Amino acid sequence: RDCQQTDIKYLSGWKQWKRTSSKSLKKVLNEVKELSSYLELWRHDIHSIEGKFGTGIQSYFSFLRFLVLLNFIIFILMFSFVTLPSVISKYGVFNSSFVKIPPKNTEPHCTYYKPSGNKGIVYFYTYLKDLLSGTGFLEVTSLFYGYYTIDAAWISMLRYNLPLAYLLATFAYLALSLIWIIKRSVEGFKQNLVHAEDQFQSYCNKVFAGWDFCITDPNAARLKHRSLQYELQTDLEEERLKRKIADRTMKEKLRIYSLRIFINIIVIAVLSGCFYSIYRATVFSQENSNVSIRHGIRRNSVANLLVQYLPSIVITLANFIAPQIFSFLIRFEDYSPAFEIRLTLLRCVFVRLANIGVLLFSLWSQISYCATDECKACGYNYELYPCWESEVGQEMYKLMIFDFIIILAGVLFMDFPRKLLVTHCSCKPVQWCGLQEFGISDNVLEIIYGQTICWIGTFFSPLLPAIATIKYFIIFYIKKISLIHTRKPAARPIRASSSNFFFLVVLLIGLVLAFIPLGISIAHIPSSKACGPFRSFNTSWAVVPDTIREFPTGLQQVLYGIASEAFAVPFFMVICLIMFYFIALAGAHKRVVEQLREQLVMVSFDPLFCTSKV
């Protein structure tokens, strides 16, 4: 206060006015920030979790909140551009109507598609079964691709091109997710780059910034102490290990490398086993599910439901067993502890995301399996899959529902009984097992897996993001209750800064992996001729060149120019040059930092410099 008042005396009138105006501006900004913080979802819940369990676990819940918001925005996007116009035009609201252009140049047998819906007297459990498997009455709703069999919608004099809107909305939500994730991860990336560049900083970081000042609970404080002690000891241990590794003899190195190659072969074998079993399960499930009309009979038994869910079950089993195998195997590979954790995580991430890819691949091999000429004329197996996009949408829907059921079941049947057992049974082995820790990486991989399914599935099932939003909303509360009542804080907590960045990097990998199946579906596989907005096109992508052909010639030429090699190659070279420039700049900055450091050392012996700092 005294400093400020003395400063004010010496400032001129202009500067004083500037100061007061900047102060009032700051006040206004603060008020706005205060108001907007009230709108933030779950602010109080996350704050209390941070106080009890530390910032590592809090970052998981913030990540979950981010996914809820992302899915909600994607849902709004798809709903307003795709579902709303269809619904409006189908019900004739606002003087709207729709146009169904009969597809030209296609064989009539390709266009035959009659989803059964639910006609006549049906039992109640049929509804339940349909709800769980996305067939029956759900298949004809706007949940799935098959509903949008409109080529254009007329909304009071405006012609709305639905196929183009559908495709562009898909690209828009992918681009939006990409940009949002990158924006969020830029912060963490900057910090990680600084941190990784100067790896000698890690001790200072742990010691000076190690205490989490948000902890209010004495139990949590005790655990934090223990974890800090453990971390410091592990780091020192690692340093000693590194020195030991550097002193290894040639014979030992050979032994260890051959052991690692052998273990990697085992890992690849485990992965192939997973992929093959998923492939066989999908093929079996598709061949034996008797719900579509081709067989005429509908078997409403539980066995049928199980067969339908077989791919999901196998994927969940693989996602559960493979990480256990990996964490068992890595002990023999003799890496440093930090690298062990990272490698296991990478392998688990790969397993989870590749499983979805294998499922889709096996679905496609079924869909495009063509023996007859008639089938080849359509481009896909029209008998079994008259509307194959809805089938794929149904598989994604089933995966999502099953994922949700598994998470619920995990909490109900594993966490709570364990807690009951530990509190009421005082025998030694039970007490030694104790409560489970909240494994941040496992939980994060779970929700990233769910999000990847949502990204891939939204093209085939536009209302899927709504289901994902509700699912993650409920999961937040389930996980929070499970955390508070049945878990103990982790003994080796991950740091908040590195974990935020890690979550977003894995999410980005999931998004990029989601591009691949979508790209292949849109651009390569012929769209079904019996349903959907792309009936009159060869592939879903074909609507874009068609639209461009209707543009004025000048614009067409510009667009063709941009897409041609004459533009792409120089553009690529310019981008490379810019990248090299920035790399050189970073190197130069690093050298300047080194020089300044040396200068600091020399200058510090100057007595004048020392007294001014004190």
Q: Would you tell me which residues interact with other proteins (CB under 8 A)?
A: 1, 4, 23, 27, 30, 33-34, 191-192, 194-195, 198, 200-201, 203-205, 207-211, 213, 215-218, 220-222, 225-226, 228-229, 232-233, 236, 239, 495-498, 597, 600-601, 604-605, 613-614
Give the shortest CB-56-to-other proteins separation in angstroms: 11
Local structure of residue 539 (DSSP, 8 states): B
Closest to 173 measured CA to CA, from 464, 450, 446:
464
3-class SS at 459?
A: coil
Q: What is the dihedral of CA 32, 34, 38, 40, to 10 degrees?
A: 80
Q: Are 461 and 144 in contact (CB under 8 A)?
A: yes
C-beta closer to other proteins: residue 187 or 252: 187
Give the shortest CB-189-to-other proteins separation in angstroms: 11
What residues are paired with 487 via a beta bridge?
436
C-beta closer to other proteins: residue 221 or 579: 221
C-beta closer to other proteins: residue 23 or 424: 23
Local structure of residue 134 (DSSP, 8 states): T
Give the shortest CB-220-to-other proteins separation in angstroms: 7
What residues are paired with 152 via a beta bridge?
99
Six-digit token string for 27:
């006040």
C-beta closer to other proteins: residue 205 or 324: 205
What residues are paired with 436 via a beta bridge?
487
DSSP-derived pairing of the beta strands 158-160 and 152-155: antiparallel
Q: CB-side exposure of 605: number of CA atoms within 13 Å?
A: 4
Q: Are 82 and 164 in contact (CB under 8 A)?
A: no
Give the shortest CB-228-to-other proteins separation in angstroms: 5
What residues are paired with 539 via a beta bridge?
526
Six-digit token string for 190:
């900057």
C-beta closer to other proteins: residue 195 or 418: 195
3-class SS at 217?
A: coil
Give the Cα separation of 410 and 439 in Å (integer).
Answer: 13
3-class SS at 155?
A: strand
Give the shortest CB-343-to-other proteins separation in angstroms: 23
Residue length of the chain: 614
C-beta closer to other proteins: residue 201 or 272: 201
Six-digit token string for 106:
């296609």
Give the shortest CB-217-to-other proteins separation in angstroms: 6
C-beta closer to other proteins: residue 131 or 596: 596
Give the shortest CB-255-to-other proteins separation in angstroms: 29
Give the shortest CB-213-to-other proteins separation in angstroms: 6
C-beta closer to other proteins: residue 188 or 386: 188
